[in-house]
């Protein structure tokens, strides 16, 4: 609420706050001093804002009580993690609490004086006056008529868009719907607020690569992205983004043998750098707790709004790496820690009205069955909180030699929709994992997938008798030469 006052944009909100509250409404001494500075400016007719409050508190020698200028900016950032209706709701709650304390003090005073200098009739009249007005909260509660009007507006918007992408793109045709040559309806139609989405897999299967895919798709579409990279450093994230964007440099070449990069590679990396620098993207590799992510997301929102954009989606890698929430003792179990962080992630998505996408480890060892929801590691709360859970499966991710024996390639990936709160679950679709290109691609794009992954084309199958004019029937179609990949993947 104080953060909304410091913004100074809503004159009606400022007027109501000055009418309903006094500094004693706040329990914190620091907050009392901030409110007093705002009230003084209001009475003097000075425009209220962060800078004017800072100047007034500095002149009064009270700014140190709130932690200096950074303490004031923290108050403004707190507003950015809340829905637009939150400041007025908090104001109503604080005003009601202040009103209740004032009424309690008045009633105690009346009780002590009743029969002495206050008559029964006087006490009854003053008591009725205390409760004559309704609570501020009753007026601040959402109006059903307004909610229905908003629902109708949202519904018409969805109808006008038609089938296909209705949210933030992931870049996956099966999920988004855009660009599907068969005109199939998408599984989810893009990421929408305030969803909590988990990408689940065992280590080395491709969770981080899928996150990179989705981050790139959102950034290219012009959305504001905050990535809390708890596992990788910002440099490691950038390496993968750049490799995926230029797609002519192998990740191991960039990270292990950069001296082997050719002038063409360096030129294309520079072009990729220019593209990435134009994105509305914040990579925060210091956020290791949910409170840190909340602060980082608020800062990202402020940064994007300052350039005319906004924060649209939060990514995190990965949920089990987050530390203990402040209210949880460090000695508590992993189950409690992961559960608390999952619930807090869901609430943050709801408050900020953005999708929150996080990677999740699964705990199964077996690879002879499809993934299930109960494979999610550490907490059943993950399943309960999530709006969607997508599980990745690569049967031979760590056993390339065994893949050929069973007719697979190590790059073969399948994405399973294990949960979808807003529609049917149970669907799955294939992708091709190109680890050295730090991306995945549509399964049908490259029939000879190993050409891109290993740079060694596989020889075509040996000709059959049918290809040499034999009269014996052979229903096996003659293999075609795979098309060359597009130049941007070569």
Tell whether omega for the bond before 318 is within 30 degrees of 0, i.e. cis.
yes
Residues 6 or more apart whose Cβ sits within 8 Å of residue 150: none
Whether 457 shows a pLDDT value over 50: the answer reads no
Burial of residue 71 (CB within 10 Å: 0-12, 13-18, 19+) is middle
Q: Give the pLDDT confidence score for residue 78 in this predicted structure.
A: 76
pLDDT in tens, 208-218: 999 999 999 99
DSSP state of 207: H
pTM of the model: 0.72
pLDDT in tens, 257-271: 888 888 888 988 999
Q: Give the pLDDT confidence score for residue 375 in this predicted structure.
A: 79
Q: What percent of the chain has pLDDT over 70?
A: 80
Mean pLDDT of 263-284: 92
Closest CA to 434 of 452, 457, 409: 452
Report the range out of 66-75, 85-94, 125-134, 309-318 with the highest average pLDDT. Answer: 309-318
Ramachandran region of residue 39, left (φ > 0), alpha (ψ -120 to 50) or beta?
alpha
d(Cα 113, Cα 105) in Å, to the nearest integer? 13
Whether 469 shows a pLDDT value over 50: the answer reads no
What are the chain's domains? 1-138 (1.10.860.10), 164-442 (3.40.50.300)
DSSP state of 398: T
pLDDT in tens, 347-362: 999 989 999 999 998 8
Q: Give the pLDDT confidence score for residue 337 in this predicted structure.
A: 86
Three-state SS letters, 429-441 = EEEEEEHHHCEEE
Q: Indicate the pairing of strand 313-317 with strand 388-393.
A: unpaired
Q: Give the pLDDT confidence score for residue 117 in this predicted structure.
A: 79
Tokens of 442: 């549509």
Tokens of 183: 């005109």
d(Cα 94, Cα 98) in Å, to the nearest integer? 6
């Amino acid at each position: 609420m104080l953060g909304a006052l410091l913004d100074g944009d809503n004159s009606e909100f400022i007027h109501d706050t000055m009418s309903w509250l006094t500094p004693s409404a706040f329990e914190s001494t620091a907050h009392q001093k901030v409110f007093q500075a705002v009230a003084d400016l209001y009475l003097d007719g000075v425009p209220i804002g962060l800078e004017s409050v800072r100047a007034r508190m500095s002149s009064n020698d009270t700014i140190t009580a709130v932690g200096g200028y950074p303490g004031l900016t923290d108050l403004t950032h707190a507003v950015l993690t809340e829905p637009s209706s939150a400041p007025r709701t908090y104001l109503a709650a604080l005003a009601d609490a202040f009103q209740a304390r004032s009424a309690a003090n008045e009633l105690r005073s009346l009780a002590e004086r009743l029969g002495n200098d206050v008559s029964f009739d006087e006490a009854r009249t003053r008591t009725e006056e205390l409760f004559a007005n309704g609570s501020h909260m009753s007026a601040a509660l959402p109006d059903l008529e307004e909610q229905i009007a908003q629902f109708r507006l949202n519904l018409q918007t969805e109808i006008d868009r038609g089938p296909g992408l209705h949210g933030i793109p992931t870049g996956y045709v099966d999920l988004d719907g855009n660009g599907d040559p068969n005109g199939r309806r998408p599984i989810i139609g893009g990421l929408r607020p305030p969803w909590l989405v988990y990408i689940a897999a065992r280590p080395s299967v491709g969770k981080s690569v899928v996150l990179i895919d989705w981050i790139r798709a959102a950034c290219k579409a012009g959305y504001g992205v905050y990535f809390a990279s708890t596992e990788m450093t910002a440099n490691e994230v950038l390496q993968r983004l750049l490799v995926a964007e230029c797609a002519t440099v192998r990740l191991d070449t960039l990270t292990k043998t950069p001296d082997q990069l050719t002038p063409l590679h360096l030129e294309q990396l520079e072009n990729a750098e220019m593209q990435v620098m134009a994105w509305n993207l914040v990579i925060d590799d210091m956020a290791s707790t949910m409170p840190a992510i909340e602060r980082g997301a608020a800062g990202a929102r402020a940064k994007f709004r300052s350039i005319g954009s906004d924060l649209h989606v939060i990514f995190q890698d990965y949920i089990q790496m987050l530390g203990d929430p402040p209210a949880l003792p460090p000695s508590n179990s992993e189950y409690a820690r992961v559960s608390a962080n999952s619930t807090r992630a869901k609430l943050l998505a709801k408050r900020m009205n953005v999708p929150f996408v996080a990677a999740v480890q699964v705990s199964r060892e077996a690879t002879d069955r499809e993934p299930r929801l109960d494979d999610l590691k550490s907490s059943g709360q993950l399943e309960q909180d999530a709006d969607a859970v997508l599980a990745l499966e690569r049967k031979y991710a760590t056993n390339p030699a065994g893949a050929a024996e069973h007719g697979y390639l190590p790059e073969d990936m399948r994405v399973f929709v294990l949960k979808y709160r807003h529609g049917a679950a149970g669907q799955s679709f294939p992708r091709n994992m190109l680890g050295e290109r730090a991306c995945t691609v549509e399964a049908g794009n490259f029939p000879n997938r190993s050409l891109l992954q290993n740079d060694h084309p596989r020889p075509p199958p040996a000709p059959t008798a049918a290809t040499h004019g034999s009269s014996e029937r052979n229903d096996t179609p003659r293999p075609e030469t795979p098309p060359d990949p597009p130049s941007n993947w070569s």
